[in-house]
Amino acid sequence: MTELLLQYYRNRFTRYFQNQKLAKLITVFLFLSIFGALSVGIYFFVRGGLLFTVNTPYFKDVLPLFLYEMFLLIIGFLVILSASITALYSLFKRENNEWVIASPRFHTVPTYTAYRVFLSSLWPFVLIALPTLLAMNTVFGIGLWNIIVALVAILFFVAFLVFGTMFTIIIIAYILSKIKISKKSVLSFSRLAATCLILVTLLAAFSWNQALGGDIIALFQADDLTQEIATIGPIAERFKVFPSDPLATLLFQIQTKSNESTLALLGEIVALLIISMLLFTWSKKFYLSLWQKLQENSFVAKSRTTGRVPKSSFIRFFKSPLSAIYTKEWLIMTRNIRNAMWLFFLMMLLFIQTGLNFVMGKNIAVHQLNIELFPSIVQILQYATIAYFISAFVIRFALPSFSTERKTAWILASAPIDIAKMFWSKFWFFNIIFLVLGFATLFVNFFFLHLNIGSAGFLFFLSSISIIFITTLGLSLGAIFPNFNTDDPQVIATSFPGLIFISLSLSYGALGAYLFNVTLIKGVLFPLFSFMVISLLVIAFMLYISPRSLHHTEFVRKFTR
Amino acid sequence: MLYFLLNFPYSRILIDMLEIKNLTKTFDELKAVDDVSVTIKKGEIFSLIGPNGSGKTTIIKVIAGLLQPTGGEVVVYGSNISEDPIKSKSQIGYIPDEPTVWSSMTGEEFLHFTGALFGISNEARAKKISELLSLFKLEGIEKNYFENYSRGNKQKFTIIAALLHSPKILLIDEPIVGLDPHSAEIAKNTFREFANDGGLILMATHTLTVAEEISDRIGVLKQGVLIESGTFEYLKGVSKLEGGATLEQVYNALVV
């Protein structure tokens, strides 16, 4: 089975270049360019940070250890969250699985799902870990052997997280299947997904409290002026409860070249991996019956008297063709569990960022630190964060929204309405949602950081233009270059228009942040003003061409006889 | 003068029809439809038959406005679909081969949504939906999500959606696939009544018994070309088959 699976991926890779070679070569080039640019950015960012710690003896031990612990904790948590979402769907909702489930090799489904989830969880680690290790080598000269040991440890750690997550999902499904709330209750996918997300949220709350609760300044012993070098004891003590601690400690030991217990730490990670794999292997025996039970829900709903009936109806909003189309966008978005889970994922990222601002602001307020540039730096950071997160939301939800309409496009395309309305409905819908999201984040941060009204108003104005620009850019690329070869939004996000969008939106956000920095730090307004005016002109241009492009769109896959 | 001509009773005979003139549709280098011309009159049921990939669905999709013609033109009751798509589409009801609807919409919401797209008022569509749900025996399940319906029920909802706005033309791609025998009978009777009431039907199907049973004329497509078209009797004649021959035998004689 594994051989077949590997053969399938190999064939998919070789077949990828069989047609439209130039477009696909450009796509791969773009992908590698973005990957490379981000890696180079991370390399210089980490190198700068590490050089700072080298030149600041007081923090030289404690700050890197804290950063390793925090970084692995946050990334580990995000791996668990994304692995949960991918695994839930791949295990229980993937239509292609029916063929394998009907075969005598049904037990291979969880195994190859684990491979897939592992591979999809790995690339962010590699993207960040490799340049980080290279930066560590530049600053501390850790050597090739240590880089290899660290990479192996990271691979094992990700595998541990993936197998642990999959084991937990299967066990939660098993427990839920045994709990009967009423006579009619059946194990439903939405209940399983909600339970998993609640557990992940509780895990996040616990981790947050353990890692960042209390006085951060005290954690670094910064209030003790008699100390020459902060000791790592308080941080090691605080983080030792997390399974990411052995890996963080291993990285710290590699950095300080105190390698006496490196192998022992690697052994700890291997032990965690073996335990999670054994538990996962054991839990696979429940899989078939759980899969069967999770398909039953739809059969129950096919009968006349029972079924999953929505609590609210949107019929009252279907007043005119236009209101019907707007309402449809809202209905489809809010009732899709997969969308809801990815929205949850991105919101978690946003909460983490907002939470970190909160911790920073609170500690600065408590210790009455007078940092002159602090409000400006935070505003720039705020702007960059909003640009980045809105880009993430747009690429996951707005950009693929035309491509994913392929199968249902017949409903709008055969109706007596201008198909361009499809663009406008998405334009208003996504802009309103993203503006509300952006404003909510800004409000929360203004509250924590006590910005004056003038600064807050300007940031609001700049952020609004940028949010509309990024959203319109995503929608325009999605409308002009739809991808009807897949229904998977994640695949669409990494195809040609998705990669173009990533390059443009990241460059746009970076340019905006840079010009905002010039305005705030140097007091020069003209470049930022020009940036905003040009943004508005480009938005107008995109709104002119994109809806018209839909008149020529044929919502079909490539035709073969 | 033009108004008078268009409204003069005999002139309507020239307009009340679906005209497909030299229709061609290519996908890259593949000619899916090759110079097809057919005129279908009011009250007529015209079936397209042919092997997989012969262009039946493509013709239907071009007329429904889902694909753009590469060459030729389609005129719906006097309106060219490329020049005045909104007027043309308002006269058409389209039933696709795959009844795919947003999975998280209920059957009832889908029907109201489609009705709203065609500009039918809330009250009027509620009344019509109720009648059609009853006809197709779907009452009681209309509030379930679309993803939970069987294929046959999904098909019934798309049939109802196509009939909601009382169209003049029905474009049907595989009319009874997935329907149980009783529902298939209801669907066939509905289509026949629709034509008897002055509607016009263009249907693409592999179910030859249905085509034989309800069609007035049949067109045979092969690799995008309309190789024959006419009444069943005419097709039997050109196939040089006996009087008791079935459409399946005619099909085999003309296509295989």
Find the mean pLDDT for residues A156-176: 95
CA dist A538 → A395, A468, A524, A530, A532 (Å): 19, 11, 23, 12, 10
Lowest mean pLDDT among A207-221, A232-246, A520-534: A207-221
Closest to B85 measured CA to CA, from A406, A403, A420: A420
Residue B72 lies in a domain: yes
Contact: A411, B109; criterion CB under 8 Å: no
Which residues of chain B neighbour A411 with C-beta distances below 8 Å? Answer: 101, 113-114, 117, 161
Average pLDDT, chain A: 83
CA angle A473/A477/A483 to nearest 5° reads: 150
Q: Which of B24, B92, B117, B164 to mutate to test the interface with A (most CBs of A within 10 A)?
A: B117
Contact: A307, B141; criterion CB under 8 Å: yes
CA dist A415 → A120, A419, B167 (Å): 40, 9, 11
pLDDT at residue number A304: 45
Whose tokens are 């509607």? That residue is: B199
Structure tokens at A112: 């190859």
Same domain, B176 and B144: no
Same domain, B55 and B110: no
The CB-side HSE value for A388 (13 A sphere, CA atoms) comes to 13
Same domain, B238 and B251: yes
Same domain, B66 and B112: no
B105 at A interface, C-beta within 8 A: yes
Last residue of a domain, one of B166, B181, B205: B166
Q: Looking at the partner chain, which of B100, B104, B118 has a beta carbon nearest the beta carbon of A407?
A: B100
A417 has pLDDT over 60: yes
Last residue of a domain, one of B147, B166, B185: B166
Question: Contact B111/B59 with Cβ under 8 angstroms?
Answer: no
Residue B245 lies in a domain: yes
Contact: B102, A408; criterion CB under 8 Å: yes
Residue percentage of chain A with pLDDT more than 90: 26
Put simply, the chain B residues between 119 and 158 with a CB less than 8 A from any chain A CB are: 119, 122, 140-141, 143-145, 147-150, 153
Residue percentage of chain A with pLDDT more than 70: 88
**What is the distance in angstroms between the Cα of A499 and the nearest Cα belonging to chain B?**
25
Residue B8 lies in a domain: no
pLDDT at residue number A315: 77
Residue of chain A with shortest Cα separation from B25 = A559
- Report long-range pairs for A337-340 (Cβ below 8 Å, ≥24 apart): A337/A189, A337/A190, A337/A193, A338/A85, A338/A89, A339/A397
pLDDT at residue number A184: 58
Q: Looking at the partner chain, which of B53, B102, B148 has a beta carbon nearest the beta carbon of A307?
A: B148
Put simply, the chain B residues between 32 and 61 with a CB less than 8 A from any chain A CB are: 32, 53, 58, 61
pLDDT at residue number B255: 87
Same domain, B203 and B213: yes
Which residues of chain A neighbour B87 with C-beta distances below 8 Å? Answer: 416
Contact: B116, A302; criterion CB under 8 Å: no
Same domain, B69 and B191: yes
Structure tokens at B141: 């399940």
A216 at B interface, C-beta within 8 A: no
B114 at A interface, C-beta within 8 A: yes
Distance separating alpha carbons of residues B126 and B160, to the nearest angstrom:
12
B27 at A interface, C-beta within 8 A: yes
| Bridge partners (DSSP) listed for residue B219 | B48, B229
Residue of chain B with shortest Cα separation from A409 = B66
A184 at B interface, C-beta within 8 A: no
Residue B3 lies in a domain: no
Same domain, B84 and B178: yes
Same domain, B255 and B172: yes
Phi, psi of B103 (to 5 degrees): -65, -25
Domain count, chain B: 2
Distance separating alpha carbons of residues A94 and A102, to the nearest angstrom:
14
Contact: B27, A559; criterion CB under 8 Å: yes
pLDDT at residue number B21: 95
Which residues of chain A neighbour B32 with C-beta distances below 8 Å? Answer: 559, 561
Which residues of chain B neighbour A312 with C-beta distances below 8 Å? Answer: none
Structure tokens at A296: 């039953």
| Bridge partners (DSSP) listed for residue B145 | B106
Which residues of chain B neighbour A319 with C-beta distances below 8 Å? Answer: 116, 122
Residue B222 lies in a domain: yes
Contact: A302, B149; criterion CB under 8 Å: yes
Q: Looking at the partner chain, which of A304, A325, A414 has a beta carbon nearest the beta carbon of B64?
A: A414
Q: What is the CA radius of gyration of chain B?
A: 19
Contact: B92, A409; criterion CB under 8 Å: no
A346 has pLDDT over 90: no
DSSP state of A320: S
DSSP state of B100: -
Q: What is the pLDDT along chain B (256 residues), one digit of tens a residue?
A: 555 555 555 555 556 799 999 999 998 888 999 999 999 999 999 999 999 999 999 999 999 999 999 999 999 999 999 999 999 999 999 999 989 999 889 999 999 999 999 999 888 999 999 999 999 999 889 988 888 888 899 999 999 999 999 999 999 998 888 889 999 999 999 999 999 999 999 999 999 999 999 999 999 999 999 999 999 999 999 988 877 889 999 999 998 8
Last residue of a domain, one of B166, B190, B210: B166
Residue predicted with more confidence, A170 or A52: A170
The tens digit of pLDDT for each residue in A288-327 reads: 999 988 887 655 544 444 455 566 677 777 888 888 888 8
Residue B5 lies in a domain: no
Which residues of chain A neighbour B104 with C-beta distances below 8 Å? Answer: 331-332, 335-336
Residue B215 lies in a domain: yes
pLDDT at residue number A95: 74
Which residues of chain B neighbour A561 with C-beta distances below 8 Å? Answer: 30, 32, 53, 223
A321 at B interface, C-beta within 8 A: yes
In CATH, what number is assigned to the domain containing residue B51?
Answer: 3.40.50.300
A338 at B interface, C-beta within 8 A: no
Domain coverage including residue B223: 13-91+168-256
Contact: A301, B108; criterion CB under 8 Å: no
**What is the distance in angstroms between the Cα of B198 and the nearest Cα belonging to chain A?**
21
Closest to B235 measured CA to CA, from B201, B208, B207: B208
Residue predicted with more confidence, B76 or A31: B76
Contact: B105, A328; criterion CB under 8 Å: yes
Distance separating alpha carbons of residues A319 and B112, to the nearest angstrom:
9
Which residues of chain B neighbour A314 with C-beta distances below 8 Å? Answer: 109
B89 at A interface, C-beta within 8 A: yes
Distance separating alpha carbons of residues B178 and B97, to the nearest angstrom:
10
**What is the distance in angstroms between the Cα of B112 and the nearest Cα belonging to chain A?**
6
Same domain, B177 and B252: yes
Same domain, B61 and B123: no
Closest to B207 measured CA to CA, from B168, B155, B244: B155
Beta strands B45-49 and B79-80 are unpaired
Same domain, B226 and B239: yes
Q: Looking at the partner chain, which of A298, A315, A559 has a beta carbon nearest the beta carbon of B109?
A: A315
A512 has pLDDT over 90: yes
Put simply, the chain B residues between 196 and 255 with a CB less than 8 A from any chain A CB are: 223
Distance separating alpha carbons of residues B235 and B255, to the nearest angstrom:
12
**What is the distance in angstroms between the Cα of A293 and the nearest Cα belonging to chain B?**
15
Residue B6 lies in a domain: no
Residue predicted with more confidence, B79 or A8: B79
- Burial of residue A390, with CB atoms counted within 10 A of its CB: 0-12 exposed, 13-18 middle, 19 or more buried: buried
Q: Looking at the partner chain, which of B66, B85, B116 has a beta carbon nearest the beta carbon of A324?
A: B116
For residue B41, the tally of other CB atoms under 10 A from its CB is 14
Contact: A331, B102; criterion CB under 8 Å: yes
Q: Looking at the partner chain, which of B100, B118, B161 has a beta carbon nearest the beta carbon of A416?
A: B118
DSSP structure string for A136-198 = HHHHH---HHHHHHHHHHHHHHHHHHHHHHHHHHHHHHHHHHH--SSTT----HHHHHHHHHH
For residue A99, which amino acid is it?
W
Same domain, B80 and B175: yes
Find the mean pLDDT for residues A461-465: 94
CA dist B138 → A136, A539, B143, B154, B155 (Å): 67, 47, 10, 10, 11
Q: Looking at the partner chain, which of A315, A417, A555 has a beta carbon nearest the beta carbon of B108?
A: A315
